[in-house]
A and B are shown apart, each in its own frame.
Chain A
Amino acid sequence: MSTGTTKLDVVVSDVVPVNELVTRFHFRRRDGELLPTFSGGAHVVVEMRDGDRTRLNPYSLMGSPLDTREYTISVRRDDVGRGGSLFMHRQVKPGLEMVISYPVNLFSLDLRAKKHLMLAGGIGITPFMAQTSQLAGAGGNFELHYTCRTASLGTYADVLQQRYGNRVHLYHDDREERIDLDRLLSSQPLGTHLYVCGPAGMINWVRDRAAALGWPPETVHFEHFAAPQPGAPFDVTLAISDTTIRVGEQQSLLEAIEAAGVDPPYLCRGGVCGQCETNVISHDGKFIHNDHWLSEEDHRSGCKIMPCVSRFEGKSLVLER
């Protein structure tokens, strides 16, 4: 059972190409009512029914939390991924009826902060679109530093600069522009909270530097949805359900468990929230952990796995499901 993920019946109200890689999708409720309230940083899980296959991918809501007539998400096309973003880009047209989850926020603002310092990389800009709208509406103090590959791939950079002027700082990789991170982190007033969303390498770099420069962990917030990685098929025994299943090359372990009719809890499907954490009863082989939830110790122990993003290679794996 998908904890907290009550479903919403929506219709695609608009599809807007933003640049060569990113397309924006607008959803409204089919019954015409307002959508549930959300806060900046929230995501929804979009169900993609593609023939006999259903994919469930999380996307950050990027519209203003002050306007719940529609939800908007921006999807970056990934030509070598498992096909979710390609499905959205190719098959989702205005008028299509879809199902999405209620919004869930695993990357919320800490509103006790005196200042919000935001660092975005690439498509990691989307949660900040909602957060900056939320803060601007309430007179909040924020500063956004946004790194993109080129100006044409700087999704919403123009919108953000127009809205917030010099509170937005842009860095273009192709112009060799780099954030002077240590200086930035060392010059923030006491009471600042740091938010980072982008590629894993960027998040790790920012977290490492913040920790080394004395930022307490409670003031550093990050979100990185790991897309489930494809890999060699493997067999898994679900002990409680008393069944053995095969995880396909393009399938996540969680999706395979669901396809067998077992309904484990989930929220983010990206290795972040911890909901689908599953105990390992026995194994003979090696885990490929891709999550950001379990500790390194948990990873080494071989006693736990996050089936939404992690895989297994070896002879046998028995899970408590």
Chain B
Amino acid sequence: MAAKTIISRPIYGTLSPQPGKHHLFIADAEGALAITDMAGKAPPGFFDGAEIDFIPGPEGKHIAALEALKPAQLHLSPSFASLLPRLKQTLTNAHMGLRLYLAGTEGLIGQAMQVALEAGMDHTSMQTEHRGSLARRMQCVHCKGITENVTTQPALCSHCGLLLLVRDHYSRRLAAFQGVCINAEDRSEIPPMEETFP
């Protein structure tokens, strides 16, 4: 569970069924369990108007549990990049009343939220629940390159190779935590790298 350290550090809640007829779920891996847990509190027929876009990940678990909810649509994607065109299309054609539920890793929640913000949704009107890995999506503030699935502190920028301190400072616009060079004064100083975001 994420702790509030600085104001930009996102805090996630627990999915709860919202009023309305159209519900869009975006989830990865263990995020599926947030949806099945919420289903217990949902009114009858709730999933008749629901679309679930799910990224099962390498282990490929939880698909049957989502199928059992009998959503109007269930789409499986191998990655967020492959899900993106479909998500954009859905949001472009959507009307007010569509409710968005994001569940799983921070990277997934952040990137889906970024697309929804561009489509005109307010971040406070989206339901979010963090499940699974604490891995972070990080932007190097020096070269601006984004490194996915950062689990260590410090972390190497996969673009420019600088050793970066992964900050709690988060950008909703970029859907990424900020990484700042940890040894700018003396590059030979290499702090130990620890698995901080497993």
Interface positions of A (Cβ within 8 A of B): 112-114, 185-192, 194, 211-219
Contact = CB atoms under 8 A, between A and B. Distances in A.
A184 B101 CA distance: 24
B125 interface: yes
A246 to B, nearest CB: 45
Chain B contact residues, majority secondary structure: loop
Q: How extensive is the interface on chain B, given as a class? A: 10 to 19
Contacts of B20: 212-215
Contacts of A214: 18-22, 96-99
B95 interface: yes
Interface of B: 18-22, 91, 94-99, 119-122, 124-125
B125 A188 contact: no
A216 B122 contact: yes
Contacts of A189: 94-96, 120
Given A218-B124, A218-B125, A219-B125, A213 B97 contact: yes
Contacts of B97: 185-186, 213-215
Nearest to B116: A190
A188 B122 contact: no
A212 B22 CA distance: 12
B21 A190 contact: no
21 contacts: A112-B120, A185-B97, A187-B95, A188-B95, A188-B96, A190-B95, A190-B120, A192-B120, A194-B96, A213-B20, A213-B21, A213-B96, A214-B22, A214-B96, A214-B97, A214-B98, A214-B99, A216-B18, A216-B124, A218-B124, A219-B125
B94 A212 contact: no
Nearest to A117: B96
A175 B173 CA distance: 49
Nearest to B18: A214
Contact of A213 (B19, B91, B124): B19
A113 B121 CA distance: 9
A186 B124 contact: no
Contacts of A192: 96, 120
B19 A212 contact: yes
> Across chains A and B, which 4 residue pairs bring their CB atoms closest together, nearest first?
A191-B120, A214-B20, A216-B125, A214-B97
Contacts of B21: 213-214
Contacts of A218: 122, 124-125
Given A114-B120, A219-B122, A211 B96 contact: no
Given A112-B120, A113-B120, A218-B124, 14 more contacts: A188-B95, A190-B94, A190-B95, A190-B121, A191-B96, A191-B121, A194-B96, A213-B97, A214-B19, A214-B96, A214-B97, A214-B99, A216-B18, A217-B125
Contacts of B121: 190-191
